[in-house]
Chain A
């Protein structure tokens, strides 16, 4: 480890209604891999966005290479040598791999962009990284994993001094992760500073030198990786919040009836011959890597995407589900992983969102019975403890956790027996997360059946009665909670590739 290259001090940032960063400190040295950890919503990504100029900080200082700096956009940051590999893929699908890697700093021959040189350089870059990607391929034709590798290659090609990896491994196979680590070690040798954001405790131990932990937008502390244990880090991350006790055994009675049976479900490449059963009162966890086909399975089951085959039985009766309309009629509700895009209508009120799936029930003749609508909305605001001044509040003004509660309320109003929760706690702060867990357990105990898709291993292990593991569109395993361990799940989630 060399001298300090970057210091962030007292960084403060607020969004309307959210104190996203509360006087956070951070320090990075040359030749170090520094992990930044924290639960979802702890403020890691926000801190990095402040660093790279995407957000403007409210107060605090950033010292980089001995000088105080303030970047106004990513371009400034890049020019100074700070690049970020984003969590969400930021690729221009209509351009080729090489064009994407060099976007914003194309090689030029006179007026002309020198595409040939860009392709050569990309090849060189990929060779160095031992990745096999055709630089001339169109970006949108690549798999998510490969796109991620391109994103990393792009960052590295920037002659950077500081590289930020924001959850880079989420979509990668184990082999690809190995490659990534090799690359990171190589970069460390070249005396670069690396910030590594990840949830995977194992990786942190393997690759990083120091760990900084954040919680609820605040700085908690920094540890030297070799000198601490996993538990130390987890304690710092979780802090005061006492989660629901992890399940040690299934809470579902052995004789609970099967409410949903899916047989040989097929839908494109991402859903291949998936079969499973769901019992009354059960929380069925779906685990796997990003891009394993869990969301696609849920969407196909819900009728949101077209299926190519498979049978669905509800309470033993075969049903046809060709559209979400059919699914909802059959008592299935779906909470999407992408709340803003698929879950809520942000510019509308809580009331309007709550009754969206049930509107025909709240009609008196031709007109909407606004009184009854408001009544039921207020009932669920109270029941779910949604924090809002009134039922007429626009959903856009709510925090992530409360927005999620509005979506849940939508399905509870509908009285759905089968609920699909796709990443129910993504982008939700820690306190709200626990409330959602409690709520899920309560719903299960009331006899609702829940399919929970989650990428957080701790969440899967904490909540599920039974776990289904998927990999590359196929179901690769089914594990009871008693037998489940992180290793067992990871093994199945990556089984095919090894």
Chain B
């Protein structure tokens, strides 16, 4: 029932967005046309029923993905049912769901894997059973031969990089006169897409700084400190501090964000996913430095992040296209069920700020 309500609310914006699919604005991150072109004129041979296994329904991100699926399913005359564990960390539950979905011998399974290693065995089973898998949101690098027929993902490294580029441009002038600090809040450091995003941001920032002759030193979470490329030890022009909370909750993210915002030399902070960016906003509620003395950059959308971008608290944010991912996931599944060979579909990440939020190809992806 709720789903329907959401669908009604969303579909208005949706239509506008989808009409404009082939012509993307300049901010898009990678070339998507080729992947999309393969679906031209696609029709479902029969009324397929697909199984979708998402990471969870917890964040509104996934709701947007489902909207895209609803739209595609309606267009193609196929059906799907979606399932997901209670939280993105319930790996075992997701594996069970995936197994259960494969055991039901559906026309295809769309999978956003919580963890890429733990699903491998199930994917093998799918390959053996001839159930095509479309990986969306998260690519599965070591997938067994013949299981994953198409990958519909946004390049997370590129998404992190675009955040770094925009952020660096905004604070460039402040660098060079003594040490400044740039913070990054990551919800965790074990989910692959967040790792890629975090490192994409870090490495791009170091690269940009180096191009201007500045040095960057790393602080904070050991994983990211170790993985950063080109950072220096000791004195540097920029300290890049990465913080990861003990648990992936908004309140703990906000504590970590608070420790960064409280430092005098902080000039910018990046929250690398919805939870982290929301935590950053909760921390800023009291400090009110974002958009004033500190540049804030968010990720994904959701009511509070959108509001923050709109009123200038955030310089801007990067959105993946959950809606597009969902939409093309169903298209890819249908094509696979038809027996077509597929190439991967990279979906877009967009940089958005107050100026382009209303753009027709961005607005639909900015879910509440």
Direct A–B contact in complex, judged by CB atoms less than 8 Å apart: no
Chain A interface (Cβ < 8 Å from any Cβ of B): none
